[in-house]
Amino acid sequence: MTDHPLAPLLAERLESVGRIFEAALVSDVPVVNSLCRHVERYRGKMLRPTLVIVSGLAARGTGGGAQLEAPPERHDTLAAVVEMIHMATLVHDDVLDEADLRRGGATINSLRGNETAVMLGDYLISSAFRLCSTLGDPGLNLALGETTNALCAGEILQLSHRGDMALDERTYFDIVRGKTAVLVGSSCRLGALLSGAPERVCASLGAFGEELGMAFQIQDDVLDLVGDQQVVGKTLGIDLRKGKLTLPMVMHLAQCDAVMRTRTLELIRHVDAVGVRDLMERSGAIERARQRAMSMVSSAKARLDALPDSVARGLLHLMADAVVDRSS
């Protein structure tokens, strides 16, 4: 999307987000600074900060002109806040998954151990709420507190279902909504809120973000089975190794007969990633999961009808399509 009309503005704004992010994490303790610099490599595509900014742009003027629009710095600060929370979840996820690789580099837990990684994740969350408080709006802190509660609850729900070979789609989506989608939804909704948008617009953008987040997670599920680790940039096969059923597995097990179910469970127990992938591909489960992600993207884009036509709304459409087209 480097040729998009908003690309130069976004590049400038994301640089600002990066500066705010780095400044907010500065500590008097040198080892904390070193670890935070390492975590900054995790930022990648910065999907959530981008959604804060673009949602804010797309929602401008929808409040009827009676409300003052927030200056760009407020959106940039909020974007840094949601990225800090996201980084914290990645650091904690790597501990839970015993992952060695993130964004093509070593994870904090593999470098310094689980204890340090857990405390660094906590430091990131604490820093995020401290930074958010500088915006002077307790409602933002409350909304993000509800979001982080949902993130933790989603992760706990997933942990409670590790090894559950009877996991159904409804529970799967409850997990995904909590551990992934709510933060994406909050990024969009709060970006609109800072632009003075009415509740109906904020709600539509929040729903857009949640559906986008779920589609993003489904694509992650697919990549965990069929992706190239060098391209994806993180340890693959973790879901299988940790006994976490992803959507292709849930779909496959729900439709196979007793003989195929027994064979599939045997491959899962032996952590045979190649064997599981082959079964998922032959049964069509991987393709059905991809189709579900595409359907969610279509539904998410329909939510944007609540917004006036604009370059920013068009970019949200493109970002939604990119979720299911990505290979990393």
Q: What is the pLDDT along the chain (328 residues), one digit of tens a residue?
A: 678 899 999 999 999 999 999 999 999 999 999 999 998 888 878 999 999 999 999 998 776 544 445 568 999 999 999 999 999 999 999 998 888 887 778 899 999 999 999 999 999 999 999 999 999 999 999 999 999 999 999 999 999 999 899 999 999 999 999 999 999 999 999 999 999 999 999 999 999 999 999 999 999 888 888 866 554 444 547 778 878 899 999 999 999 999 999 999 999 888 888 899 899 999 999 999 999 999 999 999 999 999 999 999 999 999 999 988 876 5
Q: Provide the pLDDT for residue 228.
A: 63
Q: Provide the pLDDT for residue 283.
A: 94
The residue among 48, 47, 127, 124 whose CA lies nearest residue 91 is: 124
Question: Global pTM?
Answer: 0.92
In the chain, where the domains are located: 7-304
First to last CA, the chain: 16
The answer to whether residues 157 and 175 touch, using CB atoms and an 8 Å cutoff, is yes
The answer to whether residues 55 and 203 touch, using CB atoms and an 8 Å cutoff, is no
The helix-helix angle for 199-226 and 311-325 (nearest 10°) equals 20
Q: Provide the pLDDT for residue 229.
A: 56
Please say whether the dihedral angle defined by the alpha carbons of residues 264, 267, 269 and 274, taken in this order, is positive or negative: negative
Q: Provide the pLDDT for residue 63.
A: 65
CA distance 79 to 75: 6
CATH tag for 7-304 (out of 1.10.600.10, 3.40.920.10, 3.40.50.300, 2.20.25.10) = 1.10.600.10
Q: Give residue 220's Cα distance to chain centre.
A: 10
